[in-house]
Amino acid sequence: MLDLESRKVIAVIKVALRIQRIALSIDDRLAFTADQSKPQLAVIDTATNQLRAPIALPSVGYGAAPTPDGRWLVVPLRGGKQVAVVDLHAMKVARTIDVPAEPQEVLISPDGRAAYVSCDASKQVAVIRTSDWTVEKLIDAGPSADGLAWAGK
């Protein structure tokens, strides 16, 4: 854990030998990171810098992003062709969604209506409608479809 104002390390939390990417809950109370050796998400309480019980995943996760309402966490399952939707009230996977191969990064639209998931092997971005958790469309993105970001005015 870092204190960005003082630019100091305030805690080192042992999570796993290898982790991948970090996501924060909308209220900043929880941090999530994907364990790369086990199919689970590490959950860190940011007030205490302590690990909570992990969230079991169907396979190893990669990136993650919460919906703006703070209810869901969308987690690409990189080794397969699925995305997991974690219910943050129950702290468990509520459903999985089939997407093209090797989903890696997820970006939720500011209005929360869509989750954009980069699928590296297929060179596509899957657009998932969050109202019913279905793939609305696929966008051809070219080689190395990985990181996603919003750009605009």
Is position 9 within any domain?
no
Is position 151 within any domain?
no
Domain that holds residue 84: 18-140
Is position 69 within any domain?
yes
CB atoms within 10 A of CB 147: 10
Is position 119 within any domain?
yes
Is position 86 within any domain?
yes
CATH code of the domain in which 53 resides: 2.130.10.10
- Tens-place pLDDT, residues 82-126: 999 999 999 999 999 999 999 999 999 999 999 999 998 899 999
- Tens-place pLDDT, residues 10-37: 888 888 888 888 999 999 999 999 999 9
Q: pTM here? A: 0.92
Q: What is the pLDDT of residue 140?
A: 94
Total structural domains in the chain?
1
Q: Which residues pair with 115 in a beta bridge?
A: 108, 128
Q: Among candidates 100, 135, 134, 133, which has minimal Cα distance to 118? A: 100
133: amino acid identity, one letter: W
Is position 5 within any domain?
no
Is position 13 within any domain?
no
Is position 48 within any domain?
yes
